[in-house]
Amino acid sequence: MDRVDRLLALVAELRAASPAPVQPSVLGERLGVSERTVRRDLELLTHGGLPAEAGEGGYALPRVPAPPALGEVASLMGPVHDTLAEAVRTRRIVRLAYTDQSGVRSFRDVEAHGLVVAPYGEYLVGWCRMREGPRMFRLDRVGAAFLSGRGAEVRDLDDLLAALRVPMPRPPAEPGPRGPAGAARARAWTLDRLASVRSRLREAAAEVREGGEGAAALRGVLGHLAEWTRWQLAAVRAAATDEEPVLEGRRPPFPPEFDRDLPYSERERMIQDAMALRSLGDLARDLQAVLEAAAHWVADCDDALWEQELPDPRPFGPPGAPRPLADLLAGWRGPLAHIEWHLDRLADEPPAEGMWPPSVDDEGVWLVDRCPLQA
């Protein structure tokens, strides 16, 4: 055990026993060092600010008092981070004023279960009472937080993170192979994300079939998703294999001009016209067939593809910056995130009257003109 590890272990032993004292001889025996070494280490730590007190019974750390409880009114006055940390510590429900990435603000009750630091920000992990499911909320998008007096249900943070399919950290930037373990993790994560998205699609279609509202909106979105997902997955696969794109599923016939360089709105109009002849079930099966073909390819493709960065094919303009294959398929701006974005929009409340660009037409059918593919 090197010195840094020994100091960590020493502080851990004192904290575990706090406020009871521990004899240096006992600490030395537990750490496998002499009593003299323990005393020298403790002298170094106390000079550095550790509040260890020496007495007849040995060395002891004072018990750290619990922070004062944060009241409901005070929760609105202090920093949002402090309110959320208190909600997590006390397993309380917190009410958020939250603005999503599309700029839409909502107010929702969330069971606070953990704060997670990710490469691109800090997140609250919790159970959203409005959506009745696990969600992550970026702290810099929380405008205000109110700590309620209601307790949260007991849920496991690891289970919540698994249900959210929290993305893996991006691979290191240094050149050279990263080993088969990295490829195996990336492949498994991508397959897991594919299974999750396919399950969400089945649930959305089943809810409509069982009498739920929104069949017309879901038809429009599924038509859009079937064609664009077909193209996105084919483009990523072609970039990975340097082969011609393979368009999976049951692509409908399009007019000859469809393959020309068209504005997004014109191409989308052609997609919706072609898909209008199909039933909701046909559209759902087409999209599922595209995703199933992607899952087979992901499961069987060469390990080397997961160990390199590939050009990011974009619907419009030049390719984006190179990214790992797992990120291209299942990360932000990829085909799976695109599907989830539209499913989330279908579950949201319509925007306030007068919002521009419009998200619903005169019959209340959700449009796709705010799709992130246009960004």
Inter-CA distances, 167 with 119, 137, 197, 296, 326, Å: 10, 14, 14, 21, 10
Domains and CATH numbers, the chain: 3-60 (1.10.10.10), 72-164 (2.30.30), 186-374 (1.20.120)
* Contact yes or no for 123/138 (Cβ under 8 A): yes
Rounded-to-integer distance, Cα 75 and Cα 82, Å: 8
What backbone phi and psi angles, to 5 degrees, belong to 215?
A: -60, -45
Closest Cα to residue 248, out of 224, 274, 228, 273? 228
The DSSP line for 53-95 is EEETTEEE-PPPPPPPPPPHHHHHHS-HHHHHHHHHHTTEEEE
pLDDT exceeds 90 at position 233 = yes
pLDDT exceeds 70 at position 265 = yes
* Contact yes or no for 161/167 (Cβ under 8 A): no
**Range 119-138 average pLDDT:** 80
What backbone phi and psi angles, to 5 degrees, belong to 262?
A: -120, 155
Tokens representing residue 59 in the block: 């060395």
**Range 102-113 average pLDDT:** 84
**Range 162-187 average pLDDT:** 52
Inter-CA distances, 67 with 60, 71, 90, Å: 21, 12, 11
Tokens representing residue 140 in the block: 């810099």
Residue 161: predicted pLDDT:
65
Half-sphere exposure of 52 (CA within 13 A, CB side): 28
pLDDT exceeds 60 at position 372 = yes
The DSSP line for 296-358 is HHHHHS-GGGGGSEEEE--SSSS-EEEEEHHHHHHSTTSHHHHHHHHHHHHHSPPPPTT-SS-
pLDDT exceeds 90 at position 284 = yes
| Of 20-24, 195-199, 338-342, 352-356, the least confident | 352-356
Unique residue bearing structure tokens 């990214």: 323
Unique residue bearing structure tokens 């603000």: 105
* Contact yes or no for 152/92 (Cβ under 8 A): yes
pLDDT band at 171, cuts 50/70/90?
A: very low
Query: Which range has highest mean pLDDT (123-137, 176-190, 235-249)?
Result: 235-249
Tokens representing residue 169 in the block: 């950290």
**Range 244-264 average pLDDT:** 88
Rounded-to-integer distance, Cα 325 and Cα 163, Å: 22
Per DSSP, 373 falls in state G
What predicted TM-score, i.e. pTM, was given to this entire model?
Answer: 0.51
pLDDT band at 18, cuts 50/70/90?
A: confident
Q: Give the three-state DSSP class for 111.
A: strand
Considering the chain, what percentage of its residues have pLDDT values greater than 70? 78
* Contact yes or no for 368/224 (Cβ under 8 A): yes
| Of 15-19, 278-282, 286-290, the least confident | 15-19
**Range 6-13 average pLDDT:** 84
Residue 361: predicted pLDDT:
39
State the Cα angle at 266 between 262 and 267, rounded to 5°: 70
Summarize pLDDT for 24-78 with one digit per residue, the tens.
899 888 888 888 888 888 888 888 788 888 888 888 888 766 666 666 667 777 7
Q: What is the mean pLDDT of the chain?
A: 79
Summarize pLDDT for 185-220 with one digit per residue, the tens.
788 888 888 888 898 898 888 887 766 567 888 888
Relative to beta strand 121-128, strand 105-118 is: antiparallel
